[in-house]
């Protein structure tokens, strides 16, 4: 007998967390996180498979990983996100590439100062 579960149930909504806990987990406030999700969502095509991890959960899972540096398996199980380690790895790779390719230059500015050479 084979069970056929072909979709991922989203049982959590991280935006319902208290502000302090949200900021501690994701290192961004809710407004910044929502803006990031919306900006990144505009850069990707909607998935055609029903069993794909929702895009916003990929962003949340990646943000937790970026903020904690913990193991991917533990993060995928955190907050009832329910992402396997391989799916977590793909999400981190995808979100990292999107941020570095499309948003890096807009949001991260390195100082340009001349270094004084002392003799």
Q: Tell me the helix, strand and coil percentages in the chain, rounded to 5.
A: 60, 0, 40
Residue with tokens 């149930």, as numbered in its chain: 9
Greatest alpha-carbon pair distance for the chain in Å reads 80
Looking at the domain assignment, is residue 1 inside a domain? no
C-beta of residue 26 within 8 angstroms of C-beta of residue 14: yes
Whole-angstrom distance, CA of residue 43 vs CA of residue 11: 26
Name which residue leads in pLDDT, 89 or 77: 89
Work out how many domains the chain is built from and give that number.
1
Q: How do residues 98-108 score in pLDDT, each as one tens digit? A: 999 999 888 87
pLDDT of res. 100: 94
Q: How do residues 8-63 score in pLDDT, each as one tens digit? A: 555 568 898 899 989 988 899 999 999 999 999 999 987 777 668 889 989 998 99
Looking at the domain assignment, is residue 117 inside a domain? no
pLDDT of res. 43: 93
pLDDT of res. 108: 78
Looking at the domain assignment, is residue 7 inside a domain? no
DSSP, residue by residue, the chain: ------S------GGGS-HHHHHHHHSS-HHHHHHHHHHHHTTSPPPS-TTSPPHHHHHHHHHHHHHH---HHHHHHGGG----HHHHHHHHHHHHHHIIIIIHHHH------PPPPP-
Name which residue leads in pLDDT, 7 or 117: 117
Query: What's the pTM?
Result: 0.75
pLDDT of res. 4: 58
Looking at the domain assignment, is residue 112 inside a domain? no
Looking at the domain assignment, is residue 114 inside a domain? no
- pLDDT at 115 > cutoff 70: no
Looking at the domain assignment, is residue 8 inside a domain? no
pLDDT of res. 17: 86
């Amino acid at each position: 007998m084979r069970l056929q579960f072909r979709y991922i149930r989203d049982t959590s909504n991280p935006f319902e967390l208290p502000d302090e806990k949200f900021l501690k987990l994701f290192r961004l406030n809710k407004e910044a996180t929502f803006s990031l999700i919306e900006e990144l969502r505009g850069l990707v095509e909607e998935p055609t498979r029903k069993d794909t991890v929702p895009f916003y959960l990929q962003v949340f899972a990646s943000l937790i990983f970026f903020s904690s540096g913990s193991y991917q398996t533990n993060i995928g199980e955190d907050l009832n996100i329910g992402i396997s380690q391989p799916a977590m790895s793909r999400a981190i790779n995808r979100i990292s590439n999107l941020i570095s390719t499309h948003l890096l230059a807009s949001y991260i500015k390195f100082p340009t100062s001349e270094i004084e050479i002392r003799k």
